[in-house]
Amino acid sequence: MGRVFIFLSVFLLGTYSLEANCITKVGALSDAKIAESRTIAIIGAAGSLKGTVARLIKEKITVIPFSVGEALRLEVNRGSEAGLKAKPFMETHRNSPNEVVAEVVQSFLKSVPNDVALLLDGAPRNQSQLNQLRADLAKINRKIDIVFELGIDLETSKDRINGRLLCPKCQTTFHTRYFVPKVLDTCDHCESKLTKRSDDSVEGAEKRWKVYQDETIPALDQLRTEGIVYSLDGNQPARVLVSRILDILQLKR
C-alpha cells in the first residue's frame, strides 16, 4: 500500500511538472517530508501575491498564517520600538534589520500551538534571517518543512505593486484592476478607507526587486539544495497558485 502511494505521488508530481510548466519540482522531496508539512513558507518578490495566496489558503485548510511585512507595518503604525527601527528601512524599500524581524517572528512563534500548521508569508528574506528562523523554529520543535517560491518577472512586480491598495485596519490587499473592491476605495471586509502603501510605487518595486535578487534568492538557493522548494509560476492568478499549492500539500496527506 505504501509503495502504491509513493508511486502514485511521484507519478502525479511528475504530471504537475509537465503540465503547462507551471510547477518545476526542484530537488527531491520525500513523501515523509510533505506529510510532516507543519511549517510552510511562501517566498516571492514584491507583487508575487504572497499575502493573497496565504489568505486564500487559510480559507481552505487549518493553518496559522504569519506575514512578517504585515507584522512590521503594524509595529510601525503602533509606533512601537520595533516599528520605529523598521520604519526608515521600509520607507526606503530596504529589508528591515534582521534583529527587528527576529523580534516580531519570535513574538509570533511564542503564541503558536504545537499541533497546527504555520504558513510563513515573506520569510526568510535573506541568509541571516534563514539561520535565525531555523534556530527559533528548532526551539519549538519545528523546522521549515516545505517552501513555495512564487516566481514573477520584474514587469509583473511593477504592474501589481503600482495598483495595490491596502486596508490599514484588517490588512487586506486590493488592486485597482485585479482585485477591485466592491465599493470604490473601501475595504470589502471592514469598510475602512483603503490606502496605498508608501513603498508601493514603480520606483519602490524596482528597488525591492534588486534587494530580492541580491538577498532573498541566495537564501532560497540554500533551501533548494535541501529539496524542499517548489517553484511556481507566480505570474498566474492567485486562485491558480492556491489550487496548485493545495494539490501539492494534499497529495501526501
Quick one: 187 or 245, whose CB is closer to Zn ion?
187
- Output 30 or 195, the one with its CB closest to Zn ion: 195
- Classify strands 146-151 and 229-233 as parallel, antiparallel or unpaired: parallel
Distance CA 76, CA 129 (A): 20
- Written as one letter, the residue type at 232 is L
Q: Does 189 bind Zn ion (CB under 5 A)?
A: yes
For residues 84 and 183, which CB has a smaller minimum distance to Zn ion in the complex? 183
Q: Least distance to Zn ion from the beta carbon of 191, Å?
A: 7
63, β-bridge pairs: 117
The grid coordinates listed for 245 are 499549492
Using rule CB under 5 A, residue 183 touches Zn ion: no
Q: How far is the CB of 118 from Zn ion (least distance, A)?
A: 23
Cβ atoms within 10 Å, residue 36: 15
Of positions 187, 220, 228, 242, contacts Zn ion by CB under 5 A: 187
Residues 190-229 touching Zn ion, rule: CB under 5 A, are 190, 192
Q: Which is nearer to Zn ion, 58 or 189 (CB)?
A: 189
Nearest approach in angstroms of CB 69 to Zn ion is 16
Question: Minimum distance between the CB of residue 175 and Zn ion, rounded to whole angstroms?
Answer: 14
**Strands 146-151, 39-44: pairing kind:** parallel
Pick the closest to residue 49 from 117, 151, 170 (CA basis): 151
Judged by CB under 5 A, the stretch of 21-29, 54-62, 134-142, 169-177 that binds Zn ion is 169-177
Sheet with 146-151, side-by-side order of all strands: 23-25, 229-233, 146-151, 39-44, 117-121, 63-67
How many binding residues for Zn ion (CB under 5 A)? Answer: 8
Residue 141: how many CB atoms within 10 A of its CB?
8
Residue nearer to Zn ion on the CB measure, 60 or 189: 189
Question: For Zn ion, which stretch binds (CB under 5 A), given 84-92, 102-110, 188-196, 197-205?
Answer: 188-196
Cβ atoms of 233 and 155 within 8 Å: the answer is no
Helices marked H in 19-49: 31-35
Q: Is 13 one of the binding residues for Zn ion (CB under 5 A)?
A: no
Q: Of 55 and 244, which CB lies nearer to Zn ion in the complex structure?
A: 55
In angstroms, how far is CA 80 from the centroid of its own chain? 24
Among 18, 20, 135, 170, binds Zn ion (CB under 5 A): 170
Tell whether residue 167 is a contact of Zn ion (CB under 5 A): yes
Provide the 10 A C-beta neighbour count for residue 139. Answer: 10
Nearer to Zn ion, 54 or 229 (CB): 54
Q: Which residues bind Zn ion (CB under 5 A)?
A: 167, 169-170, 172, 187, 189-190, 192
